[in-house]
Structure 1
């Protein structure tokens, strides 16, 4: 019964997450379109005609677009080259045009999408983690991918081709391989097991290693070596840290209802069993540090996830993020909670897990063929041009 309850929470939570993520991407695209419309109006006011504006664009080193094929670029880029040619050139015009679209947090729709995303995480995945292994909950995230892509086709005009549908089937097969052999235990069913698990988890060492890896990856991104995988890897590591802390805290809260004297897991890690049991503070330093770690991980994950969504189409970002997040979160969970029972189960799991991830990555290759078209607002995107870009 507990397995079904956790499964239902994970599925419903990921439906909400997928909806929220698509809503955020829609809001970003809307901000971009509105800014380009304002820029178009400013250009017409200043130059009086589209033709003269194109001549100015050439003078400033911008591209003179002529067809939809020439205008293929990464989805969600915050400033088109066409717009950049004018952003710093107007000083005496009648209308002031911003150098880029408004910040995403100025959109109520984007904020609503963000809230839906974390409502799904808190009331869906976090609850599921108190009943199920992270190796089960993480792959169920395929539900958010499917919801996201279906909504992206309907509302974001990101067309799904037959090759991409095949890719989704391969990804679902990969998820099935993982779920088939994933351990279903929560890691602890009573207070004694929970205390032992927390004390022997080595969570401080694992988190320290993760922070060092994160620092190196962020330095690479800041140095200009940006790629989809780097953004995804940073967001996935932050996300897996949230999964680990959320699982421990939700297990603690669930068991606390039965074993009222059970010490806080943060105090257990720092003070040990005796020190945690004798602690009378309502809010100790270790508990404050856990809150800081969780807040930092949420902010870090959201920051790099949003940067990736702003640079790449949903169909490119989501499957790669899903595969990377599965690897990081599942392996971290297995290390912390020791959910595999013996070497044989570990061998079978990692063999099938490797096959599942390989299938997910293989299926993702078909989704990478999804291209978005970014057009200046004075050029219409008709059906013929859209077909040429595929």
Structure 2
């Protein structure tokens, strides 16, 4: 029970750090947006009456939506906004103003955004990854919603965003859903029987599973790049990358725990790669890591980059209301199934039937509750989400839909 509580605490603390990082990223993006709007408004005021009137209307609209600015907005607005009669004034101005006429500075120039990004990855590495060595993925993955809730609460406290009655209702529903999942999640400690864990890894066909997933991802990505884009395709690719990260993280962090507790136990990654006999003779390759560990770490890095890349592509075409609940549900289902199949964490068919029944109900409640968090326009979830502005028009400007 103590290991279960420790793993649960690591996951909760990790997601609190991630939520804090998301709030910092929002703060940095908002500052970049306001800086650009102020510079643009000052420049338009000196560029003539036509430019000034157009710029003033645009600035008032921009100010009302500055809280919704995101990484995708900042990158996309340069290509999505065409200037009307006021554009000559923008182009002929001073170098700094002209340089920023088509959008704010890049997000990586904001110290707050960079710190927020580092907090995000620190929470994943030292929170969720550590928790995976104590808990099943079925318990760790749903706790990701904690980061969204923390981000909303901090934005309400420090960024002036208002929590509505609907959002409070959503918090209550989400808490109930997460509680249902934790109630039935497997609680066996893998390190309590280290030999069994190593045997399970060696017999689970991890290499075949990863090869199959990479082939599937290659096919799905090819289909997307050929123009067959849909919300489900983006969600599926991002969810599979997320589940691969979960599996690789669990193997690496479990190895660290097993090494500390049982020095004679082979590395599970080596067992999966070389077999039980070959793992005993595996030699370090880089920084004390054997080849399978290096490959697992590389897989983690590629999975994180792939998941974030396709998640942001989806959020550039679909609203948060459409994407976030579907992604959350799909990611949890894929990651949970992968973990349960590979690491055999369920105790028989009766436990499996009970688990999947309650797990489905819990995820449904979380998805339903998350929709209430996204209904209030005063809240941005999370820092990479883009709110559509394709139908907003201002005098002297028009916005093309993406």
Shorter-chain TM-score bucket reads 0.7 to 0.9
2:336 equivalent to 1:335 = no
**1:348 offset after TM fit, Å?**
0.8
Separation in 1 of the partners of 2:51 and 2:115? 37
Give the structure 1 partner of residue 292 of structure 2: 286
Give the structure 1 partner of residue 330 of structure 2: 324
Q: Structure 1, residues 345-368: CA drift from partner, whole Å, max 9, x if none?
A: 111111111111222222233334
Give the structure 1 partner of residue 305 of structure 2: 299
Q: Structure 1, residues 206-260: CA drift from partner, whole Å, max 9, x if none?
A: 3234334434554565566767665554443323222211111111111112332
**1:204 offset after TM fit, Å?**
2.2
What is the aligned residue count? 370
| Aligned residues of 1:177 and 1:352 also touching (Cα < 8 A) | yes
Note closer, same or farther for the CA distance 1:71–1:146 as it changes in structure 2 (3 Å cut): closer
Give the structure 2 partner of residue 26 of structure 1: 27
Give the structure 1 partner of residue 353 of structure 2: 347
Give the structure 1 partner of residue 365 of structure 2: 359
Aligned with residue 165 of structure 1, among 163, 168, 174: 168
Q: Structure 1, residues 312-364: CA drift from partner, whole Å, max 9, x if none?
A: 88788665554333222222211111101111111111111111122222223
1:139-178 aligned at under 5 Å gives the runs: 139-178=142-181
Aligned with residue 268 of structure 2, among 250, 265, 268: 265
1:93-108 aligned at under 5 Å gives the runs: 93-95=93-95, 96-98=98-100, 99-108=102-111
Q: Structure 1, residues 40-71: CA drift from partner, whole Å, max 9, x if none?
A: 2332333345555369xxxxxxx989979x97
Separation in 1 of the partners of 2:329 and 2:30? 25
Separation in 1 of the partners of 2:222 and 2:160? 34
**1:126 offset after TM fit, Å?**
1.8
| Aligned residues of 2:134 and 2:190 also touching (Cα < 8 A) | no
- After TM superposition, the score normalised by the length of structure 1 is 0.80
**1:286 offset after TM fit, Å?**
2.9
2:248 equivalent to 1:245 = yes
Separation in 2 of the partners of 1:315 and 1:321? 11
1:11-22 aligned at under 5 Å gives the runs: 11-22=12-23
Mind listing any 5+ residue stretches in structure 2 that lack a counterpart? 379-386, 396-402
- After TM superposition, the score normalised by the length of structure 2 is 0.78
Note closer, same or farther for the CA distance 1:319–1:312 as it changes in structure 2 (3 Å cut): same
SS in 2 for 1:190: helix
**1:150 offset after TM fit, Å?**
0.9
Mind listing any 5+ residue stretches in structure 1 that lack a counterpart? 56-62, 379-390
